[in-house]
């Protein structure tokens, strides 16, 4: 197995480890998930009490569930939460009653177009209850006297989220955010969570120019809570990325930040353009994942979104078919590799001044003779020509059409030869 | 008949009403036309004396014509002004003589490529006389002793133009200009005049944010005269449009203002892009209609030109074939509808500030729950995200790709819910 | 013969005159070449002593060669410098020894893919010696005892270059640079040298708004030396062009200056776009000819590069096949014509102010009546409309889409009619 496939396998295994847990935007499933992440990286778990105001929102009650089922008159569980946590509408209030099929039906949800799949539904901000079932199963339900039980609780408690901070040479931060509130769904949620965890694990053992903040939080209210409680901290965010849906077989997609032209946008696009595979660039829109909050006008953080097939653009989205087979070792490995390259550009981008502003230096006598017109020679000439203090290496890579790594290598060689020097980091 | 076709029929009827009148850049035909417009809208008729200097130009002598004909030796009118006012070259000096065909021929104009059509010719700034005839008719003229009569006068008098001012909440104006100096020509002239009249008629009965100034004037010298005599007033023109050739069967064409990127340009282009029909956008050029004068460098007014097929791009242009059949109820209705939409954008464009700059507000509790990802939901999110005081609704419509009306509706809903407030109007 | 072909023939003849001389970056061949140029234009020949520091470089030793050969054991010259000066690697140190084929082989260079062609090689900054031969000839060499002789000298001396300065109305300069250091190679070197010489010859007899500086210098070190010794002078360079490879049958290529949007770029691109032939525009890159030095960040001069097929993009490049047949009278004439047009735009570009900023003047009464909508009429209207002091004639030509000459003609007519006046030249 190639080293690349190796990391893909490791991410997939971690997805599989987290898959059975019944997560929601609050509760024990979420806490257990954070503990699994904590086994791998230094994660602080925060608990925000129910009722805490966070901007226009309020931390909701905590939801927990122990069991849920629909039993027929023979006492047989025809729908069983123990089989799939998708069977219960997330945030369902407790219920335990006998009822006819007619009474039950308004509480049953299925997908007629995909009769084998169980849909995923939530009812976060409106108290109700319900069951999700495959359409096939729905059709088998006869008129009967059913025992309907949801053994849940919806009470004052906490909203939990995890934060992994890795300090770097600089206080300026790179923010990486993943939502961690979906139950047994692999691409939309766990792939991003696992990729974020493994990236943090690798970065924890590397020298870091920037500090890193990895957030694992419930979508929307979690990000809003973090922003509300960390307003001062957000001033240090220089670059950021939301990770989601990074395991499916589709091509990579990068969705630009609100400003659309910041370094994270350019680093991501450069990486995809030089990645040798099909890819897609999306303009910013205020819909999607937590980039909606990070890019709200009062913050306008330089945060993009890294994914393969976007939310809502694959049929399996928010169904039981977004399972362990839907995410692949190869795609996870490719996502990891590309995200690493994006971070490498951000980390290693720098602006230099050539010490020979007037005409080229004589490279031969500096031990930098490369065949005229070779890529190595061109990279040296580009760095020398544009190192006027106004062009970063990323600028130079973009203008020359050469991949960042080769420009970076040329700059390293020129530094070593004493021909350029870095200007103060911004 | 649909309401839309209804307005098209009304415009066409008004074109038909004005069709028989013999207009020129001065004279009674022009005055009578203005009186017809005055029956519909509050129009002030201005009279500028011959000889008045207007920038580099001088108001010309007034031209009037009562009758004109060419009689053969049998006393038969072979060419008769009473049949078509196009038969006489506009501004022909009086003549009444006997002459041979050879003497007459240099004064006869026809279109060999369109043998059934009478051309339209003028001789405004060079004293001469002439007749326009169909080429077929020209070929039937035998050598004979002809009585040639043009019973016209070219004397000191006035240049007339009409002005309809509708005051609005603001002193800032929208200028709508139509030339009204062509005789029996329907698309090039009357379609614009009639569209302008009906737009003014509608606007007169609506609340108006902007004030409106509709000008009905002879082309070139009329616009120059208005600009020369109203220099101070031009400072109030925020948006403007020249209307011409809006009745033919061709697609809509918008010609940009000199600056090319002002609100009237953007509103017109947005309307055509979302109009569901083929259309054409032209860059500004200093040739065409009176946008030439409004967009001269000393004024550089934000004035575009709204038309269907541009001048010179249809064969019937400046011939008797530009008649009542050439302009259609459907095209006139479509032009009216699109111009109304353009003005609606200008009127209703506004810049807001979201009162929740930091993260999204919780729309559900404000009664603004819309299905996530639905167009209505997206429109709300776009307005919230870009209402940072630097983006107008038109900016938001352009960036989101959504039609202005939906963005406007979202802003109305958000205003009602107290989530945004307008910033001071510029 | 057309006048255009006439100039092409003259350039070709001058290429043929210079072809036999054995040029290098220093030495008598270079000096003799400059003397040939001096017969046509007022050329100052500068001599810079060996060892002079010029920025990061040092003027090298002067190389001269009298004879060179490889004789077989029968005393027959099997490789003979007198047959082609390409046979000796430029800057070869002297050698005179007997040696076996095995000893000789590391010093022999050929092109297996082009077995009839002799390659061109240099060894400027590393002392060595060698012979270039056709691959066919290489294969005929038997094992033998060869007499190898290079009767050269590499000693303290001078680097020579030629400078032709033509003063104009203004001190601001147009810099035209050609490298003149290649031996018997026609396209890469002599075509540029001959075009530069003939352009200077023509310009010497014309009124000139700008001053002109033509440089004929050895590539790289020559340009660096000129820049190092004339730093103050470079401040006066307003426009500049490197001429090279202008005689082959390929289409014209213009490579932009480092800034990429200066007047020389726009004039060159305008000329090629309106030239009626296929052409190519290249972005700047810090590889190629002496634009590398002129466009180094400390100078960043507005210098482009004018060529037909770029260096390295034709198979004959740096081989004996880049000969008198490879450059054609037609291509040389076309290059001359287009360069003349580019310089004409630079010379005749000007910014005017219309004296009728408010509305169009009445052109008819100024004797400027042109048929409405004719090209002549449009050109007048464009110049009037954009002559607001912020648009040059080149701006107007670009925006109108009309060729510069027609816009220039309209401006001349308007000047003569007293309708526009030039603003102060920058």
Q: Where in chain C is the domain with CATH 3.50.30.90?
A: 63-155
Instruction: Tell me, yes or no, if A351 comes closer than 8 A to chain C by beta carbon.
Output: no
What is the pLDDT at residue A120?
97
| CATH T-level assignment (fold) for domain C3-60+158-348 | Aminopeptidase (3.40.630)
What pLDDT is attached to residue A52? 98
pLDDT number for residue A13: 98
Q: What is the DSSP string of A301-327?
A: --EEEEESSPTTSSTTTTBTTSSTTTS
Average pLDDT estimate for B355-376 = 94
Contact C55 A359 (CB under 8 A): yes
**How many CB atoms are closer than 10 A to CB B27?**
26
Cβ neighbour number for residue C421 with a 10 Å cutoff: 12
Q: Report the pLDDT value the prediction gives residue A235, as an integer from 0 to 100.
A: 97
Among C293, C294, C282, residue whose Cα is nearest residue C255: C282
Chain B residues inside the 8 Å CB shell of A295: 385
Phi-psi category of C276—alpha, beta or left, where left has phi over 0 and alpha has psi -120 to 50?
A: left
Residue pair C227/C290 in contact (Cβ under 8 Å)? The answer is no
Does residue A129 contact residue A92 with C-beta atoms inside 8 Å? yes
Contacts of B372 in chain A (CB under 8 A): 287
Please indicate if any CB of chain B lies within 8 Å of the CB of C360: yes
B325 burial (CB, 10 Å; 0-12 / 13-18 / 19+) is exposed
Which among A351, A344, B287 is positioned nearest to C380, based on CA atoms? B287
- Domain covering B351-422, topology: Arc Repressor Mutant, subunit A (1.10.10)
Contact status, residue B208 vs residue B246, Cβ threshold 8 Å? no
Note which residues in 204-223 of chain A have CB less than 8 A from chain C: none
Q: How far is CA C194 from CA A76, C245, C322, C327, in A?
A: 99, 11, 15, 12
Q: What angle do CA B285, B288, B290 make, to 5 degrees?
A: 105
Helix (H) or strand (E) holding A78: strand A77-80
Question: Do residues B111 and B319 touch, judged by C-beta distance below 8 A?
Answer: yes
pLDDT at B2: 62
Domain spanning B66-154: which superfamily? Answer: Domain of unknown function DUF2172 (3.50.30.90)
* pLDDT at site C326: 98
Q: Would you call B381 and A286 a contact, using CB atoms and an 8 Å cutoff?
A: yes
pLDDT at B426: 45
Secondary structure (3-state) at B31 = helix
Query: Which residues between 240 and 259 in chain B have a beta carbon less than 8 angstroms from any beta carbon of chain C?
Result: 258
Start and end residues for every CATH 3.50.30.90 domain found in chain A:
62-155
So what's the pLDDT on residue A425?
Answer: 53
The boundaries of every CATH 3.40.630.10 domain in chain C are 3-60+158-348
Find the closest chain C residue to B234 by CA distance: C358
> What is the per-residue pLDDT across B221-249, written as a single tens digit (0 to 9) for each?
999 999 999 999 999 999 999 999 999 99
Distance between CA C194 and CA C339 in Å, rounded? 13
Chain region(s) in chain B for CATH 3.50.30.90: 66-154
What are the residue ranges of CATH 1.10.10.10 in chain A? 351-422
Closest among B91, B84, B80, B83 to B147, alpha carbons compared? B80
pLDDT tens for chain A, 426 residues long, are 466 679 999 999 999 999 999 999 999 999 999 999 999 999 999 999 999 999 999 999 999 999 999 999 999 999 999 999 999 999 999 999 999 999 999 999 999 999 999 999 999 988 999 999 999 999 999 999 999 999 999 999 999 999 999 999 999 999 999 999 999 999 998 999 999 999 999 999 999 999 999 999 999 999 999 999 999 999 999 999 999 999 999 999 999 999 999 999 999 999 999 999 999 999 999 999 999 999 999 999 999 999 999 998 999 999 999 999 999 999 999 999 999 999 999 999 999 999 999 999 999 999 999 999 899 999 999 999 999 999 999 999 999 999 999 999 999 999 999 999 999 754
Please name the CATH architecture into which domain A62-155 falls: 3-Layer(bba) Sandwich (3.50)
Hey, what's the torsion of the CAs at C134, C139, C140, C146, to 10 degrees? 80
Tell me how far apart the terminal alpha carbons of chain B are, to the nearest angstrom.
42
> Which residue in chain A is spatially nearest to C297 when comparing CA positions?
A357
pLDDT of residue C163: 98
Mean pLDDT of B43-65: 98
Furthest C-alpha separation in chain C: 92
Residue of C359, C386, C407 to mutate for B, most B C-beta atoms under 10 A: C359
Binary contact (B357, A286; C-beta < 8 A):
no
CATH of domain C63-155: 3.50.30.90
Specify the pLDDT at position C5: 72
Among chain B residues, the shortest Cα distance to A311 is held by B373
Counting residues of chain B whose pLDDT is more than 90, the rounded percentage is 96
Query: Which residues does chain B have within 8 Å of residue C359's beta carbon, measured at their own beta carbons?
Result: 55-57, 223-224, 227-228, 293, 296, 298-299
Q: Is the pLDDT of residue B167 over 50?
A: yes
Q: Domain A3-57+158-348 is classified in which CATH homologous superfamily?
A: Zn peptidases (3.40.630.10)
- Shortest CA distance from A387: residue in chain C: C297
Q: Across the interface, do C297 and A377 touch by the CB < 8 Å criterion? A: no
Q: Does domain B3-60+158-345 have CATH number 3.40.1350.10?
A: no
Where in the sequence of chain A do the CATH 3.40.630.10 domains occur? 3-57+158-348
CA gap A380, A32 in Å, rounded? 52
Average pLDDT over residues B258-263: 96
Average pLDDT per run of 10 along chain C, which is 426 residues long? 79 98 97 98 98 97 97 96 97 96 97 97 92 97 96 97 97 98 96 98 97 98 98 97 98 97 98 98 97 97 98 95 98 98 98 97 94 95 97 98 98 97 76
Taking an 8 Å cut-off on Cβ atoms, the answer to whether C358 and B258 are in contact is no
How many Cβ atoms are within 10 Å of A417's Cβ, its own excluded? Answer: 16
- Across the range B79-90, mean pLDDT stands at 97
Local structure of residue B86 (DSSP, 8 states): G
ipTM surpasses cut 0.90 = yes
- Partner C contacted by A414 (CB < 8 A): no
Distance CA C179, CA C223 (A): 9
Distance CA B175, CA B92 (A): 33
pLDDT of C357: 96
C356 → closest Cβ in B56, B231, B292: B56
Q: Is A115 on the interface with B (CB under 8 A)?
A: no
A330-346 residue pLDDT tens: 999 999 999 999 999 99
Res. B350: pLDDT tops 50: yes
What is the structure's pLDDT at A426?
45
Alpha-carbon span A248 to C377, nearest angstrom: 63
């Amino acid at each position: 197995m190639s080293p690349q496939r190796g990391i893909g396998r490791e991410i997939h295994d971690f997805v599989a480890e987290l898959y059975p847990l019944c997560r929601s935007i609050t509760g024990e499933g979420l806490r257990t998930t954070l503990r699994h992440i904590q086994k791998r990286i230094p994660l602080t778990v925060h608990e925000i009490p129910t009722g805490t105001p966070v901007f226009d929102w309020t931390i909701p009650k905590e939801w927990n569930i122990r069991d849920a089922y629909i039993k027929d008159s023979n006492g047989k569980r025809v729908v069983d939460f123990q089989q799939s946590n998708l069977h219960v509408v997330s945030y369902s209030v407790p219920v335990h009653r006998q009822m006819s099929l007619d009474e039950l039906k308004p509480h049953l949800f299925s997908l007629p177009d995909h009769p084998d799949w169980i849909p995923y539904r939530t009812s976060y901000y409106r108290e109700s209850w319900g069951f999700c079932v495959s359409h096939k199963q729905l059709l088998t339900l006869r008129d009967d006297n059913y025992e309907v039980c949801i053994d849940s609780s919806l009470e004052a408690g906490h909203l939990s989220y995890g934060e992994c901070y890795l300090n770097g040479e600089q206080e300026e931060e790179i923010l990486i955010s993943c939502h961690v509130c979906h139950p047994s769904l692999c691409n939309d949620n766990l792939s991003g969570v696992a990729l974020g965890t493994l990236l943090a694990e690798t970065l924890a053992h590397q020298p870091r120019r920037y500090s890193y903040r990895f957030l694992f939080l419930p979508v929307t209210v979690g990000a809003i809570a973090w922003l509300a409680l960390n307003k001062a901290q957000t001033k240090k965010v220089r670059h950021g990325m939301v990770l989601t849906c990074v395991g499916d077989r589709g091509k990579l997609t990068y969705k630009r930040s609100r400003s659309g032209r910041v370094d994270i946008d350019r680093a991501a696009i450069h990486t995809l353009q030089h990645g040798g595979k099909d890819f897609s660039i999306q303009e910013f829109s205020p819909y999607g994942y937590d980039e909606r909050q990070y890019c709200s006008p009062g913050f306008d953080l330089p945060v993009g979104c890294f994914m393969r097939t976007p939310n809502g653009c694959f049929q399996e989205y928010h169904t039981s078919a977004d399972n362990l087979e839907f995410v692949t070792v190869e795609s996870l490995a490719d996502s990891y590799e590309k995200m690493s390259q994006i971070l490498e550009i951000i980390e290693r981008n720098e602006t230099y001044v050539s010490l020979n502003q007037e005409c080229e230096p004589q490279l031969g006598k500096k031990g930098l003779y490369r065949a005229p017109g070779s890529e190595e020679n061109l990279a040296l000439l580009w760095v020398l020509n544009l190192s006027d203090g106004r062009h970063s290496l990323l600028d130079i890579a973009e203008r020359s059409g050469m991949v960042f790594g080769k420009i970076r290598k040329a700059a390293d060689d020129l530094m070593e030869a004493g021909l350029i020097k870095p200007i103060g980091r911004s």
